[in-house]
Amino acid sequence: MKHPKDQAMARPGSTGIKDPFEALLNHLEEHVIGATHASPPGCAPATGLEVEPEHWETIAKMASTLGFRWVGGWAIDASGDAPIFQPTVFACLEKEGRFLLIRTTLRDVQHQLPSQSRWFPGANRPERHTRDAFGIDFAGHPDNRPWLRHQAWTASQFPLRKNFPPSGMPLPITPPDNGYAFQSAEGSAVYEIPVGPIHAGIIEPGHFRFLAVGEQVLNLEERLGYVHKGIEKLAEGRDPDGLARLAGRVSGDTTVGHAWAACMAMERAAGVTPPPRALILRGILAERERVANHLGDIGAICNDVAFTFAYYQYTRLRELWLRNNHGWFGHRLLMDHIIPGGVARDLPVSATSAMHEEASQLKQELEQLRPLLDDNASLQDRLMEAGILPRETARALGCLGYVGRASGLDLDLRRDTPYAPYDQIETRPVCLAKGDVRARFDVRYDEIYAALDIINQLLDQLREGEILAGWRVPDEGAEGLGLLEAWRGEILCYVRFGPDNRISRYFPRDPSVFNWPALEHLIHGNIVPDFPLCNKSVNGSYSGHDL
């Protein structure tokens, strides 16, 4: 199912400057007083920079002008015994596969920092998350509404400060969160459609507020955070094995991606390198997770347009794939298989040839089924031109994975910032230009083929050897950064150790943080009945978004 005019696009954010990364660093060194390099070894591959708070927005403005991408933002409470709260705030930027990790410490009692969302719209919700969790005021932020609270704690309580107890301070009854100021519009023909937060079936809670005229959507606004689990607080005080298990539950459909990112961050902080065989097995696990989820979502998209036969077929293929996961790795979703230092279970010798055969059979079935999709006029009528996300909108929001690549953003860490085992094989990201539901469908379909090719390459490189490296206890304050390409897109993970091999701070950023806002944009001008189709084509994770 190819758009006739679709083709691979150039890397986003081109500025014509020979080396924008070095240009930004040189400019900062010349014009930002007090900027110092602060690159802990565990924060590779990022270059670190520590600045004063007053330069926070200046850096964002310069980086935006040079075409950088805003990767994530978070804070830590490193006040220690200080009488006042003194947080350190981080922001990660990327340009052409190179990362810059900037940080600043707030020493004033007002805990105020300029917002970067004016220059990077994707920073909007992460800054609101940090504000609600830490009490940091981002001056100039365009949206002062709470994001996480949902009335579960008072305006003077901040759950990610160290003085907030892990058990929280629960109220006898949580008041209803019915005062959120959704956007409104006036007019005799305009009406509101509230959807959720409780949905039918097994979907997680999220509220969608539509403004419509007839069936045409004028505006969509999301209200998420209903499944806020307190992951970041639960991580405090855990040992590395405990954090790996917790990370695998950030988002159940991305258990490999989040566990690997957490282990990568911890291993970098501790100076531990997993054995080559373990790294290859991690790659195989990640690609198997990619295939399983794309198969399920392709079937679900077909089901949303009542193409039930296709739904049955892709669900059947996914089920067979998951059964093999269980047989070879002990878990259908591959949970708890990636652990600090390597993997928990080896692959039987007999499985290598069997997995090659499995990949060949799946590819044959996908090729047999694809003409049924291409030739189904009813399906094509619903997919084409629905939910168009323009490239510039996707770039401004920082969209990742198949959502970004379907709109022409040619980003993939497996190629752009290769990490083991992807640094030893060839990867060819799938990138299209149209940006509609069909393009996101096509990218997913072709990503299955690419993942099968990667699995075959990794199997061919698999050699006998250890699957687990010995652990080294990191120093107190050791930091690590995990960056990898999961099935939804890039995951960022930051880990900081406290004393006695215990976690002081864990922050995972799921790609859904940037992909959820895209749904609010791509639905404009579509009809209300197309919302389930557009929503499934994005398939943001509620759980991965609502830590």
Q: Which of 43-47, 121-125, 369-373 is the least confident region?
A: 43-47
For residue range 251-285, list pLDDT tens digits in order. Answer: 999 999 999 999 999 999 999 999 999 999 999 99
Mean pLDDT value of segment 348-362: 95
Q: Is the pLDDT of residue 546 over 80?
A: yes
Confidence of residue 11 (pLDDT cuts 50, 70, 90): low
The residue count for the chain: 547
107 DSSP 8-state letter? -
The answer on pLDDT for 202 being more than 80 is no
Rounded mean pLDDT, 214-223: 93
First to last CA, the chain: 36
What percent of the chain stands above pLDDT 70? Answer: 94
pLDDT tens for each residue of 413-469: 999 999 999 999 999 899 999 999 999 999 999 999 999 999 999 999 999 999 999
Measured between alpha carbons, how far is 541 from 546 in angstroms, rounded to an integer?
8
CA–CA separation, 73 vs 125, rounded Å? 10
What is the per-residue pLDDT across 144-186, written as a single tens digit (0 to 9) for each? 998 887 888 888 889 999 888 888 777 788 788 888 889 888 8
pLDDT at residue 9, rounded to an integer? 42
Q: Which tokens belong to 386?
A: 């629905």
> Would you say 465 and 276 are in contact if contact means Cβ atoms under 8 Å apart?
yes
Q: What tokens does 340 get?
A: 């600090």
Q: Which two tokens stand for residue 299?
A: 């079937």
Instruction: Please give the pLDDT value at position 3.
Output: 46
pLDDT of 36 higher than 90: no
- Taking the C-alpha atoms of residue 229 and residue 537, their distance in angstroms, rounded to an integer, is 25
The pLDDT > 90 percentage for the chain reads 74
Chain-centroid distance, C-alpha 272: 25
pLDDT digits (tens, 9 = 90+) for 514-529: 999 999 999 998 999 9
Q: Kindly provide the residue ranges of all beta strands, DSSP E only, lying in 184-294, ordered along the sequence.
A: 190-195, 207-213, 216-223
Rounded distance, CA 364 to CA 361, Å?
5
Give residue 34's pLDDT band: very low, low, confident or very high (50, 70, 90).
Answer: low
What confidence tier does 78 reach under pLDDT thresholds 50, 70, 90?
confident
> Whose structure tokens read 């997680």?
204
Domains of the chain: 20-139 (3.30.460.80), 231-545 (1.10.645.10)
